[in-house]
Amino acid sequence: MVRAGYCSAGFGYTLVIAEKPKAARKIAEALSDKPIACKLGGIPYWIVTWMGTRYVIVPAAGHLFGLTTDKHGFPVFEYYWAPLWAVDSSSAHTRRFLEAIKKLARHAVRFVNACDYDIEGSVIGYNILRALGVEKRALRAKFSALTRQDVRRAFSRLERLDWDMINAGLARHELDWLWGINISRALMESLRSVTGRSKVLSAGRVQSPTLVEAVSRTIKRNLFVPLPYFTVTATVELGGKARRLQVASFELRSEAQRVARQLRATGYLVVREYSEYVERIPPPYPFNLGDLQVEASRILGFSPYYTQKLAEELYLEGLISYPRTNSQKIPPTIDISAIVQALVRQTRYRELVEYLLRATRGVLRVNNGPKEDPAHPAIHPTGEPPHSGLSKNHLRLYDLIVRRFLASMAPPAVLVRARLILSAEGLGSASITGVRIVSPGWMQIYYWAKPSEEYIPRLYRGQRIQVKSVSVQTSYTQPPELHTKTSLVKWMESKGIGTEATRARIVELLFERGYLRSEGGRVQATELGLTVANILQTYFPDITSVELTRRFEELLEAIRMGKVSKDAVISEARRFLAGILSEFKVKSMHAVGMELAYSLGLLKPPRQCPICGRRAEGEYCSYHEAAIRKIVEAYHEWRRRTGITCREYLEKLAAMRSTGKWVREAAKYLLARNVCPKGLTA
DNA sequence: GCAAGGTC
């Protein structure tokens, strides 16, 4: 393994740039059984000799350079790469990495970019090599996993830098910068031109479609009008326990009442079908970051970003593998039995591991999932025991990860599901299900997945079940759900925007900007969020759509294939942006500045909505205009189903919790003024 | 100050 030794590599060595310290160490260990571990200005690096060549392997810490500009105002098309520590206050740590690399470069004769083999890794390495002035003669190591075999193969056939890949990566940065910085500045300058106030506003290829998604859910929820329907519910006794079941539902109360009367008269339901089937539920896949965020939210109530932060800390403590991964696979190069043996030494896992070894007869195989990641395996514990300094939440997340890893190797769970269909003559049927655990398998370890058992006794076709009581209940259609932070991150993943490392962070950013807020764990758009989304959709619709990402991906792929040049792609983007930005500047800045000022409460609109005080276009603001339209539309159906009067209808809407906020406000307003809107008086 | 992307 690694040994400390004489930390002088002499002259004439090859300097290898890795993406991060963990990767540098892995590369060193792959090339040598005894790499020499050294430090320079607090930065670790390694010296190895392989096949007669001396290598000095030094890590970056992700990007050490970022795009910046000296120009103010918009449109802005001039930018350059600068050391990240100088342009981003949260990246101060990158300075020492850059300094260490520069010092170690002095006596190097050859240079290798050994960052992750993807477009970001190509850019990270290229920017460093260019700062050293050696990019023209540098080489690229291409490996898809940090295993001894892959790394050695890559170093035995080092290639010239992949310029098409580098240019695709540079283009991604420049496109995001051009679109994001310019539109963000257009928003901020609009507000400043009207109010003189400076406030941080932003837009971007990933954040803006995400904002629009959250906003459109908020709008749908706020404009929801529930509809009534009527259910017939019967109470029966099954296996000595009373169970309520819904027999039928109707749009008209009178029909429901007729059916209820009939059922009371009959007094029983008939078993039309009873079936049992055995279900084998395979063990879960090991975690990728997205799955971990979903489960930590469901089980522990953690937000996605909080989960990510805790997981990164567990990783830095050496307790779990790299968390920013999309992989659901544990490759054969990972010694799972060594990890399991290490876990057995943690008292709290001894019994679980013993159960696992018994249940599998010691043959450990992970149920790998379909999702892959070129650079990293699925998240798994290293086996290292947690030390006493960890917080309770670190330990809870660690426990979730350990159990998921162990469960992924355990036998399937075996359940018996029972389904009972009951009917009464001429009344349709009602079904009821039960579940019994035959063999818990992996659910013994990952116990959060265990269903609560509901036993149904075995029954026979034609058997009569006594009905103890029958009632008719009024129910209402349910409103669309608002997003949670977790579902928003999942939505981003499903649309292919952002990356494992950035999605949760970008959701938090939308909160920081004051565009979104949380209410009981649900994500609501704020006034500012509604307004910014609306402005972007009107003036810069491209940036609000996930299609922009698709377009970028196609362009980057064309650059990577050498079909089109980076310069051509960037000039086209500049030309397009120059057009829409100068038109915006001439025609729309004032109107947009006013809208922003209204939403921030900095200015009072000339004509206000009598319900909410927002700017009124006609009689009301656009939201309450829409709410009243919805109220009118739904009244016809309410009247048909219930015969309700206009006033009773409005009272009902104003009182119900499932009514959308803007609909409720509009109903209250109409009630207070004692008016039934046109079309609602019939 | 503003993006999105790496990682401490």
Domain boundary among A140, A160, A180: A160
Q: Answer for A86: CB within 7 Å of strand B.
A: no
Domain region containing A674: 608-682
Q: Which residues of chain A register pLDDT less than 70?
A: 1-5, 426, 678-682
**Same-domain check for residues A442 and A571:** no
Q: What is the pLDDT of residue A317?
A: 83
Q: Which nucleotides of B are covered by protein (CB under 7 A)?
A: 1-8
Residues A218 and A234 placed together within one structural domain of the fold = no
Is the separation of the CB atoms in A374 and A283 below 8 Å? no
* Closest nucleotide C1' to the C-alpha of A84: B6
The verdict on A424 and A528 lying in the same domain is: no
Q: Do residues A456 and A432 make contact, with C-beta atoms less than 8 angstroms apart?
A: yes
Whether A420 maps to a domain, the answer reads yes
Residue A153 domain-assigned (yes or no):
yes
Per residue in A589-598, pLDDT tens? 999 999 999 9
CATH code, domain carrying A396: 1.10.290.10
Tell me: do A140 and A78 sit in the same domain: yes
Does residue A190 reach within 7 angstroms of strand B, measured from its CB?
Answer: no
Q: A278 and A140 in one domain?
A: no
pLDDT of A99: 95
Domain's final residue, options A114, A139, A160? A160
- Which residues of A are tagged catalytic? 322
Is residue A542 domain-shared with residue A669, that is, in the same domain?
no
Q: Specify if A108 maps to a domain.
A: yes
Do both A634 and A548 map to the same domain? no
Question: What is the predicted pLDDT for the residue at A1?
Answer: 46
Instruction: Determine, yes or no, domain membership for A166.
Output: no
Residue A360, number of CB atoms within 10 A of its CB: 13
Tell me the CATH number at A210.
Answer: 1.10.460.10
- Is residue A510 a part of any domain in this protein? yes
Closest protein residue to B2 using CA and C1' atoms?
Answer: A181
Same domain for A154 and A13, yes or no, is: yes
For residues A503 and A471, state if they share a domain: no
Please check whether strand B approaches the CB of A499 to within 7 Å: yes
Q: Are residues A461 and A382 in the same domain?
A: no
Other beta carbons within 10 angstroms of residue A469's beta carbon come to 11
The distance (Å) linking the CA of A502 with the C1' of B5 is 8
C1' (B5) to CA (A577) span, angstroms: 22
* Domain shared by A11 and A117, yes or no: yes
Q: Is the CB of A181 under 7 A from strand B?
A: yes
User: CA A484 to CA A519: how far, in whole Å?
Assistant: 10
**What CATH number has the domain bearing residue A124?**
3.40.50.140
In a domain, A102, yes or no: yes
pLDDT at A682: 46
> Strand B closer than 7 Å to the CB of A506?
yes
| Distance from CA(A94) to C1'(B8), angstroms, rounded | 8
Range list of H helices, A281-391: 289-295, 304-316, 336-344, 347-359
Strand B contacted by A193 CB (< 7 A) = no
Task: Find the Å distance, CA of residue A62 to C1' of nucleotide B8.
Answer: 9
Nearest nucleotide to the CA of A500, by C1', is B5
Q: How far is CA A475 from CA A98, A140, A349, A635, A664, in A?
A: 65, 65, 47, 17, 18
Residue A216 lies in a domain: yes
| A62 located within any domain | yes
CB A320 within 8 A of CB A380: yes
Q: Kindly tell me the burial class for residue A660, based on how many C-beta atoms sit within 10 Å of its own C-beta (0-12, 13-18, 19 or more).
A: buried
Q: In angstroms, rounded to a whole number, what is the distance separating the alpha carbons of residues A214 and A405? A: 33
User: CATH number of the domain that A232 lies in?
Assistant: 2.70.20.10
Domain count, chain A: 5
At A676 the pLDDT is: 77
Diameter of chain A measured on Cα atoms: 100
**How many Å apart are CA A599 and CA A615, to the nearest integer?**
9
pLDDT of residue A361: 92
How far, in Å, are A17, A64, A132 from residue A106 at the CA level?
Answer: 14, 19, 9
